[in-house]
């Protein structure tokens, strides 16, 4: 288990290392996408193919269908060169020399699934990727969009710590979908353009830990009264579940997820190139009484330069935060403890 003191020490040590190192912008950037044959992965791949910010897109999946997806994408003019790998033995090759590795592999969320069931279903793939990164590319940025995020990111972090290559500044759980939903639902309620609106979202990434901060919206002239804030919070929290319901339990949110992950990746590429960007992510962060926390995070070429920190909260938002903290800690503990379980299972 990664204690709060361990995380603080790692953050302090890594930050000093980053500050002392000279940086020269990279020109040839590679992005690896793990789990490409599902609907999120394939939709994300076609969005990334339209980018001119990086040079090579590596697609990996256990399913050999990934090769057909890569062939199709290479029929589209422009964008990064697409290369594909399939099967366990190719995973390390698919992430070699990549600056950013993004995991979108996921067993689809179904009605009634508990977080324990989702963790059990997705953990083996996460473990396989963490081992590959530790062996082949320990300096890569690792971004995960696999649920349950509140447990999967601590699980992956504990694994990387065990493998001797954990860097809390380069481990991300992608939560851009929460800010996208908050902006869209709020803009619809207020009848304004969502592209002109910013709604910070903090906490975790589950129905009971997502906390939209309507008191911190921009532009500041836009005001959401307490009753509307309560209603909108419920809508944002249940948005993913509602999509599963409307799709009759056959699949989870895919299109909006692909869009949100694409936005995250493009910002991260800007950071790798030397800029400082803001992304919404669930990452190591002891600022709110938890070991991991989600929110607006500043990232540079070496990773996180400023984790999400304190806000001026309304009474309603303070109540939501106080309620969410023990739930996040429970989910984090579940992920960290699952490392022991999965190792025990490997022995038998």
The string of pLDDT tens digits covering residues 245-262 is 888 777 778 999 999 999
Active site residue 176: no
- Confidence grade of residue 19 (pLDDT, cut at 50, 70, 90): very low
Which residue among 176, 205, 248, 309 is the active-site one?
Answer: 205
Whether the Cβ atoms of residue 43 and residue 69 lie closer than 8 Å to each other:
no
Predicted confidence at residue 30, as pLDDT, reads 97
Predicted confidence at residue 4, as pLDDT, reads 58
Q: Is the pLDDT of residue 236 over 60?
A: yes
Whether the Cβ atoms of residue 2 and residue 158 lie closer than 8 Å to each other:
yes
Q: Is the pLDDT of residue 291 over 70?
A: yes
- Per-residue DSSP letters for 34-82? E--SSHHHHHHHHHHTT--S-SEEEEEESSTHHHHHHHHHTTSSSS-EE
Mean local confidence (pLDDT), 210-236: 89
Q: Is the pLDDT of residue 50 over 90?
A: yes
Instruction: Map tokens 């995250």 to a residue.
Output: 264
Q: Of the given ranges (11-25, 36-50, 114-128, 302-316), which has the lowest mean pLDDT?
A: 11-25
- Per-residue DSSP letters for 283-313? EE--TTSSSEEEEEEEEETTEEEE-------
Q: Reduced to 3 states, what is the DSSP secondary structure of residue 101?
A: strand
Whether the Cβ atoms of residue 239 and residue 268 lie closer than 8 Å to each other:
no
Q: Is the pLDDT of residue 140 over 80?
A: yes
Summary mean pLDDT of the chain:
90
Predicted confidence at residue 23, as pLDDT, reads 47
Predicted confidence at residue 342, as pLDDT, reads 81
E strand spans, 95-136: 100-103
- Confidence grade of residue 10 (pLDDT, cut at 50, 70, 90): low
Q: Is the pLDDT of residue 8 over 80?
A: no
Q: Of the given ranges (15-19, 272-276, 278-282, 301-305), which has the lowest mean pLDDT?
A: 15-19
Cα(170)–Cα(153) distance, integer angstroms: 12
pTM exceeds cut of 0.85: yes
Domains of the chain: 4-175 (3.40.50.720), 177-255+276-326 (3.90.110.10)
Mean local confidence (pLDDT), 221-243: 88
Closest C-alpha among 203, 58, 41, 35 to residue 121: 35
Q: Is the pLDDT of residue 165 over 90?
A: yes
Cα(170)–Cα(139) distance, integer angstroms: 8
Closest C-alpha among 171, 181, 184 to residue 207: 181
Predicted confidence at residue 112, as pLDDT, reads 73
DSSP 115: H
Count how many residues are written for the chain. Answer: 348
The string of pLDDT tens digits covering residues 101-127 is 999 988 776 767 788 899 999 999 999
Q: Is the pLDDT of residue 24 over 70?
A: no
Mean local confidence (pLDDT), 174-178: 97
């Amino acid at each position: 288990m990664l204690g709060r003191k361990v995380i603080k020490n790692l953050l302090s040590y890594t930050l000093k290392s980053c500050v002392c190192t000279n940086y020269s912008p990279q020109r040839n950037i590679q992005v690896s996408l793990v789990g490409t044959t599902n609907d999120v992965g394939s939709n994300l791949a076609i969005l990334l193919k339209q980018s001119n910010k990086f040079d090579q897109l590596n697609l990996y999946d256990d399913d050999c269908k990934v090769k057909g997806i890569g062939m199709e994408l290479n029929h589209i003019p422009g964008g990064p060169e697409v290369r594909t790998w399939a099967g366990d033995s190719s995973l390390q090759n698919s992430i070699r020399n990549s600056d950013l590795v993004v995991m979108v592999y996921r067993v689809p969320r179904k009605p009634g699934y508990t977080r324990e069931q989702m963790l059990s279903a997705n953990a083996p793939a996460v473990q396989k990727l963490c081992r590959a990164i530790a062996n082949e590319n320990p300096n890569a940025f690792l971004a995960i969009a696999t649920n349950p995020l509140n447990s999967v990111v601590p699980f992956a972090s504990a694994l990387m710590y065990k493998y001797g290559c954990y860097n809390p500044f380069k481990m991300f759980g992608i939560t851009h979908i929460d800010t996208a939903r908050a902006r869209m639902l709020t803009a619809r309620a207020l009848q304004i353009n969502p592209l002109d609106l910013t709604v910070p979202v903090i906490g975790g990434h589950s129905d009971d830990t997502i906390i939209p901060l309507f008191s911190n919206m921009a532009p500041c002239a836009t005001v959401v009264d307490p009753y509307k804030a309560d209603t909108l919070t419920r809508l944002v929290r249940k948005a993913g579940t509602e999509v599963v319901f409307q799709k009759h339990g056959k699949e989870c949110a895919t299109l909006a997820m692909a869009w949100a992950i694409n936005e995250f990746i493009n910002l991260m590429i800007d950071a790798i190139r030397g800029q400082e960007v803001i992304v919404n992510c669930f990452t190591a962060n002891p600022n709110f009484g938890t070991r991991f926390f989600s929110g607006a995070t500043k990232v540079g070429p070496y990773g996180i330069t400023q984790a999400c920190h304190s806000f001026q909260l309304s009474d309603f938002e303070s109540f939501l935060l106080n309620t969410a903290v023990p739930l996040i800690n429970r989910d984090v503990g579940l992920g960290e403890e699952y490392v022991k379980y999965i190792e025990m299972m490997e022995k038998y």
